[in-house]
């Protein structure tokens, strides 16, 4: 299993900009109820995943998406599709919320989805990502990438007073390109 992490990839200013958009998005309805492990809509985790028709993605967010895709080496691959808008999803998990253990379905020509995520706001308690039951320690601004269609993942219950905000970017790729290191994480482009 390949998980790549680039510590402090986004600056505090970039994280703050993204968090401000989420704060406005929660009030404006750009983010809405996510689905829990029982396929029930929940107020504890809001997402833009199914609600992209409610907003226009700001140029600053598209610029961050392009920056991530270039750094990871997937800018020539199709955007992650089947969720969100413009290949971007954001989730805001409030205290008591979590992300249940799952593997994402393939949604584009049977390619794997490489998710390139950045947590822009960390909860005081919980909110820990696990991939194949292995905890992945993360700080605000860290970029982390793994194949969400190939590995189970979940996030532990958020506690404290601060919601956990996670931005998801990425690409649809042949899983062999990631697993064989054909895609060179860190700015060297892979060959699509």
85-136 pLDDT, tens digit each? 999 999 999 999 999 999 998 877 889 999 999 999 999 999 999 999 999 9
152-189 pLDDT, tens digit each? 999 999 999 999 999 999 899 999 999 998 998 986 44
pTM, entire model = 0.93
Domains of the chain plus CATH, in order, are 4-176 (2.60.120.590)
Task: Say how far apart CA 125 and CA 153 lie, in whole Å.
Answer: 18
**Model confidence at 192: pLDDT above 50:** no
């Amino acid at each position: 299993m390949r998980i790549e992490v680039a510590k402090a990839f986004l600056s505090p200013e970039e994280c703050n900009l993204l968090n401000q958009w989420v704060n406005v998005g929660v009030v404006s309805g750009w983010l809405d109820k996510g689905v829990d492990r029982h396929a029930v809509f929940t107020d504890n985790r809001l997402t833009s995943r199914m609600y992209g028709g409610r907003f226009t993605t700001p140029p600053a967010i598209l610029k961050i998406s392009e920056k991530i895709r270039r750094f990871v080496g997937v800018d020539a691959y199709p955007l992650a599709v089947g969720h969100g808008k413009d290949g971007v999803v954001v989730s805001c998990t409030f205290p008591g919320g979590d992300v249940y253990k799952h593997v994402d379905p393939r949604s584009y020509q049977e390619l794997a989805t490489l998710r390139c995520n950045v947590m822009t706001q960390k909860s005081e308690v919980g909110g820990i990502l696990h991939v194949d039951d292995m905890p992945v320690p993360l700080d605000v601004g860290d970029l982390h990438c793994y194949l969400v269609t190939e590995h189970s993942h979940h996030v532990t219950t958020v506690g404290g007073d601060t919601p956990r905000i996670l931005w998801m970017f990425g690409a649809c790729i042949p899983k062999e390109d990631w697993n064989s290191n054909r895609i060179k994480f860190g700015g060297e482009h892979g060959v699509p």
